[in-house]
Structure 1
Amino acid sequence: MALADAVRLTCPDCGQGNRVPVDRLAEGPKCAVCGAALADGRVAELDAATHDKATRNDGLPVLVDYWAPWCGPCRMMAPEFAKAAKALAPGVRLMKLNTEDHPQVSARAGIRGIPALILYRNGREVARLAGARPAADIVAFVRQNLG
């Protein structure tokens, strides 16, 4: 397997970087260290360090939902975000970052209101979407911005 045939995926549970063959993404790859699923269509909760590794280093696009537990629209959007994660897997990974627990990350990302979605690809921000959205809008936003 050539390096071009594999993507790097950061484990949302332990932060370990994993090389995954592109043609095996749909098979449900697991972290080599902790065994957590890497691209199974579930939304992963991130801490600050894992957020930084995934958004900078991952070979697949990452859509991060910046949210807080006290935010009503954030809580209302959570099931829609989960539906979008299933629809976009395994080619895009959807993750969440609690802005209350990690204010330094949200400040660095320039988050002014929540919920806020930021799409990252190849270590760079590609696009932003503000406000609570239904799954169809989230999927359309990602597809439109990834081409």
Structure 2
Amino acid sequence: MTAAADATSAARQIACPKCLAANRVPADRPAEKARCGACGTPLFDGHPVEATEATFDALISRTHIPVVVDFWAPWCGPCRMMAPAYEQAAAQLEPQVRLLKVDTQANPGLAARYGIRSIPTLAVFGGGQELTRQSGAMPLPQLLRWIEAATAYA
């Protein structure tokens, strides 16, 4: 196999946070600088992506790196307390992990579909499937440890 074929086979697929197009990002190129081939939007910007009922499935299924989802609501005190740590986690973990946020008040269908009973709830997805979840707010060090452990085999 040639080096070009190796790089192609090791390419990661990442969904564009704006237009949802699937983008192949070669392993030998820095993913943090990758842009969508369809709309030109950076694929990573160091911030969690706001997902909705309309965008969630595409963001999960078209992204072939671990995806961590924060199910939250604007009225939830612990959710608001954890929000800055989750933002910092995105800045530290991208592009190895994609972080999404789902407002359960605005997207009750997603909350019902995944049986979200308490918030905040973090769920890890790999290959389009939920792998694990954790409820409750966490400070940044604990959040980073949990994400790293939960995504190690995703």
Query: Normalising by structure 2, what TM-score?
Result: 0.87
SS of 2:54's equivalent? Answer: helix
- Residue matched to 2:29: 24
Establish whether residue 80 from structure 1 lines up as the match of residue 80 from structure 2: no
- Residue matched to 1:97: 102
Establish whether residue 68 from structure 1 lines up as the match of residue 73 from structure 2: yes
- Residue matched to 2:50: 45
SS of 1:22's equivalent? Answer: coil
- Residue matched to 2:149: 144
| C-alpha RMSD over aligned residues | 1.6
Give yes or no for contact 1:10–1:50 (8 Å, CA) kept in 2.
no
- Structure 1 residues 63-107: Cα deviation after superposition (integer angstroms, max 9, x where no partner): 011111111111111110011112212100111011111111111
- Residue matched to 2:120: 115
Unpaired stretches in structure 2, ≥5 consecutive residues: none
CA distance in 1, matches of 2:45, 2:28: 14
Runs of 4+ in 1 over 3 A off after TM superposition: none
The aligned amino acid for 2:87 is A
- Structure 1 residues 39-59: Cα deviation after superposition (integer angstroms, max 9, x where no partner): 332211112232111222311
How much does 1:27 deviate?
A: 4.0
Between structure 1 and structure 2, the one with the greater Rg is 2
Query: Normalising by structure 1, what TM-score?
Result: 0.90
Give yes or no for contact 2:32–2:95 (8 Å, CA) kept in 1.
no
SS of 1:49's equivalent? Answer: coil
Identity, % of aligned positions: 44
CA distance in 2, matches of 1:146, 1:43: 16
Establish whether residue 125 from structure 1 lines up as the match of residue 130 from structure 2: yes
- Residue matched to 2:39: 34
CA distance in 2, matches of 1:77, 1:114: 11
Residue 59 of structure 1, aligned match among 51, 64, 87 = 64
SS of 1:19's equivalent? Answer: strand
Give yes or no for contact 1:15–1:49 (8 Å, CA) kept in 2.
no
Unpaired stretches in structure 1, ≥5 consecutive residues: none
- Structure 1 residues 12-60: Cα deviation after superposition (integer angstroms, max 9, x where no partner): 2222211111222444211122222213322111122321112223111
